[in-house]
Amino acid sequence: MYKKIILDNGLRIMLVPNKNTQAVTVLAVVGAGSKYETKKNNGISHFVEHMFFKGTKKRPNALAISETLDRVGGFYNAFTSKEYTGYFAKVDAKHSDLALDWVSDMFLNSKIESKQIEKERGVIIEELNMYLDTPVRHIRDLFEELLYGDQPAGWETIGTKENLKKVQRKDFIDYIQNHYSSKNTIVCVSGNFSQAKMLEDIKRKFKTINKKKPQSKEKVIEVQTEPQIHLKFKETDQTHFCLGVRAFDLFSPKIYVQEILATILGGNMSSRLFIKVREKNGLAYYIKTDAESFTDSGYLVTQAGIPHSALSKAVAMILKEYKNLAGQIIAESELKKAKDYLKGNLVLSLESSDALASFYAGQELLTSKILTLKEECAKIDKVKASEVRALAKEIFRKESLNLAIIGPHKNENELQKLMNL
């Protein structure tokens, strides 16, 4: 059960009460992420997120910000993605007023001081260095760069070192004014709280929010006529790669079919690729397939870490499974297993107040439409085996293949020969 309220200024409030918990999560999420950036300010969405933790008039520095919730054992954080940025606090229900005050204060009153910007540059550059030294994470960034190229969808959310060193306070102020607005912000509260009191408190706390119409993002341009490979040479102990294809956005009726397709391929420890690549051939510790959907783009990708010498063999195995799914109707038992896995996983993932807040706020922000847990499960149940095969035939084509690699490899010739379905 949830309640949605839209204020006169456009601010959307989502209330998700649950009396069977002692926790409350307050989440403020805004439709502003790296897809809303330009080449010049790429990385600023994430940088803004960091700066919101550096002080307000009421809580003048980072220590005051963090101590507020540390003193009551709260859990708090923020996140930046391609299409949104969020700030949340999860506390014992008796401290819900404090959580709302903390989130609203940071969201509306952060000082963004120049001296703090200078300090934080180094912090974020080291965060970037950490990602570059973590190929299991960085490979996904390279895969998206391969898919989308030099446009916001293909840029890294954290930005570039060049931009991080140049951005100034005015850039932050302009970005916040142009992208943080009541029109694209949702405040969601989940857990054990009084709905009437919380609603009035949110109205009062957020009455000063910017009402300016936010700037829109560029539409993703997708053009591909042949297989693409991106090799990043690095002396690693293991080769990491992503092999995948373009798929469907959040508004496509096919997203539930592609979720099931991804689950069958590599969504769990009994999936086809996990059994074939890891259990039968011992080539990987981790291998997984998942589907990613944005508001205007999407993809399905298999990712793995394997011995350097096994790259061609692993790629060939994955492509064979792609081809098999496109050429054969899957058994009803395998389809049912994938459906039951997705539904069970969804149920378990929504056990906590912070997960519920993200579930409802995320849907509302990105699609302006809410599907409950029951409705989501019904969508999954409706998928037919014939639809899975049809989708596999549609997306698994030679000209649609994309392969990103991190490891000590330089020669693409052998891999190019493998890129065939």
Q: How confident is the model at residue 1 (pLDDT cuts 50, 70, 90)?
A: confident
Is there a domain that residue 210 lies in?
no
Tell which residue, 224, 272, 275, 215, has the closest CA to residue 246. 224
pLDDT tens column, 132-146? 999 999 999 999 999
* Averaged confidence pLDDT in the chain: 97
Is there a domain that residue 220 lies in?
no
Tell which residue, 104, 16, 29, 77, has the closest CA to residue 365. 29
321 is catalytic: no
Question: Which pLDDT score is estimated for 123?
Answer: 97
Is there a domain that residue 110 lies in?
yes
pLDDT tens column, 54-68? 999 999 999 999 999
Report the C-alpha dihedral over residues 302, 229, 400, 147, rounded to 10 degrees: 80
Question: Which pLDDT score is estimated for 419?
Answer: 92
Same domain, 276 and 367: yes
Same domain, 340 and 197: no
Q: How confident is the model at residue 412 (pLDDT cuts 50, 70, 90)?
A: confident
Question: Which pLDDT score is estimated for 186?
Answer: 98
Same domain, 179 and 250: no
pLDDT tens column, 362-404? 999 999 999 999 999 999 999 999 999 999 999 999 999 999 9
pLDDT tens column, 179-233? 999 999 999 999 999 999 999 999 999 999 999 999 999 999 999 999 999 999 9
Is there a domain that residue 215 lies in?
no
Question: Which pLDDT score is estimated for 413?
Answer: 84
Same domain, 258 and 163: no
Alpha helix segments (H runs only) across 180-224:
195-205
Tell which residue, 199, 212, 188, has the closest CA to residue 84. 188
Same domain, 45 and 100: yes
Question: Which pLDDT score is estimated for 180?
Answer: 98
pLDDT at 23 over 90: yes
Same domain, 39 and 100: yes
Q: How confident is the model at residue 411 (pLDDT cuts 50, 70, 90)?
A: confident
Lookup result for tokens 């149940």: 381
- Residue 188: its H or E element: strand 185-191
Lookup result for tokens 């259990």: 279
Question: Which pLDDT score is estimated for 117?
Answer: 98
CA distance readout (Å), 264 to 136, 299, 310, 347: 22, 16, 23, 19
pLDDT at 421 over 90: no
Q: What's the domain count of the chain?
A: 2
Boundary residue ending a domain (153, 172, 205): 205
Question: Which pLDDT score is estimated for 89?
Answer: 98
Beta strands in 322-412 (DSSP E): 402-407
Question: Which pLDDT score is estimated for 418?
Answer: 87
- pTM, rounded to two decimals: 0.95
Residue 177 makes CB contacts below 8 A (sequence gap 6+) with 210, 212
What CATH number is given to the structural domain containing 63? 3.30.830.10
Same domain, 200 and 311: no
Strand, helix or coil at 50? helix
Boundary residue ending a domain (172, 205, 238): 205
Same domain, 343 and 236: yes
Distance in angstroms (rounded) separating the CA atoms of residues 50 and 47:
5
Angle at 291 between CA 318 and CA 285, to 5 degrees: 50
Range of the domain at 156: 3-205
**Residue from 37, 49, 120, 364 carrying the catalytic annotation:** 49
Q: Is 368 left (phi over 0), alpha (psi -120 to 50) or beta?
A: left
Question: Which pLDDT score is estimated for 415?
Answer: 85
Six-digit token string for 365: 């922000």
Same domain, 199 and 232: no
Is there a domain that residue 218 lies in?
no
Same domain, 296 and 400: yes
Is there a domain that residue 245 lies in?
yes
pLDDT tens column, 261-314? 999 999 999 999 999 999 999 999 999 999 999 999 999 999 999 999 999 999
Question: Which pLDDT score is estimated for 12?
Answer: 98
Distance in angstroms (rounded) separating the CA atoms of residues 20 and 27:
19
Buried b (16+ CB within 10 A) or exposed e, 68-98: bbeeeebebebebbbbbbbbbbbbbbebbbb
Rounded percentage of the chain residues whose pLDDT exceeds 90: 97
Q: How confident is the model at residue 147 (pLDDT cuts 50, 70, 90)?
A: very high
Tell which residue, 313, 259, 314, has the closest CA to residue 289. 259
Same domain, 92 and 234: no
Higher pLDDT, 415 or 175: 175
Boundary residue ending a domain (205, 238, 263): 205
Is there a domain that residue 308 lies in?
yes
Alpha helix segments (H runs only) across 159-276:
161-166, 169-179, 195-205, 255-266, 272-273
Is there a domain that residue 212 lies in?
no
Bridge partners, residue 186, by sequence = 12, 29
Same domain, 243 and 365: yes
What sign results for the dihedral spanned by CA atoms 92, 98, 100, 104?
Answer: negative
